[in-house]
Amino acid sequence: MPTLSVLMTAYNAAAYIEQSIRSVLAQSFDDFVLIIVDDGSTDRTIDIISSIHDDRIELWKLDHRGRTPCLNFGLDKAATIYLAIMDADDLCVPWRFEKQLAILKQLPKNTILSSWYAIFSDGNIDYCVRTPTDSAEIKKGMLLYSYICHPGVMCNKNAFESNGGYFNAVVDAFEEYQTWLKINPMVEYYVIPEILMFLRYREDSLSNNITYKQQVVYAIQQPYYDNLQLNFGITNSTEEAIYRGWREFFYGEKKKARQYWNLGGVDVFLHSKLGLAWMVTFLPEYYFLKFKEMRIRYRLMYLIGYYTKKSRTLRHTFDALYKGK
């Protein structure tokens, strides 16, 4: 039996899935099975998968039912101790599995492991995302967003199964965030401080529809914000005001963000990020939304380090994966 199961779901992914599969098959660690669950694709996705002849590929064809049921179906089919996630439109570096597995074996069995990642579009890296790596910081950060790169996850399969698998989400685009919030108290996290994943930016993705994203994420978070002390151990009123303000800034109403920060007695200009956010809330709505989605901090950091050796090496690795060299 293989050591690792790699779970990939696919729906009408003909334009990208071959690149993704080949980045998996090219891994330096090769003792794995790639479980692909097709969610009733109507394009050439099945034909493309079937044209790749590798005994490690295990294809399951389902009627269209949504991503979360497909993830849970694949989770049930995985018979190995270790589980890795991979999306049908993303790419991973050739040493991803080898590095993650070596680290994961040294961590507690309830650890969800991921890594830093880069966002790309049109064959070029747009920016890199370097999130916190510490479990405590990641856990508290779940109040606002997930620091965990879901397509880059590796874990002990039992870490998912013992906590009920993927949340039976009504909304397909955010099932992983709902899952992390659900299992947050029962697991630990670790993010490898190295870019092991390249995530494709797609304008047709539900998670990139700004207004839709704001409404859905706000609703997902609501049960946890009903009692921040119970769910996240926040007892300080100023800290609570800061989090509630940030939540409004990202997903709610910008005016309410200022109100929370005011009522909580927060001196926003003692915090550089808060001070900038405060000023941005006075922008017209259109420019306010654009500013939030541009990920300016990440883009600037990428541009500043563009000519460093590490950045050049990263682009070389990406080009080789993207062009299939």
pLDDT of residue 161: 79
pLDDT of residue 211: 80
Residues of the chain with CATH 3.90.550.10: 4-202+317-323
What one-character-per-residue DSSP string does 234-251 give?
---HHHHHHHHHHHHHHH
Percentage of the chain lying above the pLDDT 70 cut: 96
User: Could you state, in chain order, the average pLDDT of each consecutive group of 10 residues for the chain (325 residues)?
Assistant: 96 96 98 98 97 97 93 94 97 98 96 97 96 94 94 92 71 80 92 98 67 88 92 90 96 95 86 90 92 89 96 97 83
Between CA 85 and CA 90, with CA 88 as vertex, the angle to 5 degrees is 80
- Residue pLDDT, tens place only, 7-20: 999 999 999 999 99
- Residue pLDDT, tens place only, 172-200: 568 889 999 989 999 999 999 999 999 99
End-to-end CA distance of the chain: 30
The residue written with tokens 């409004």 in the block is: 248
CB 143 within 8 A of CB 224: yes
CB 192 within 8 A of CB 116: yes
CB 184 within 8 A of CB 144: no
Determine the topology of domain 4-202+317-323 in CATH. Answer: Spore Coat Polysaccharide Biosynthesis Protein SpsA; Chain A (3.90.550)
pTM for the predicted model, two decimal places: 0.94
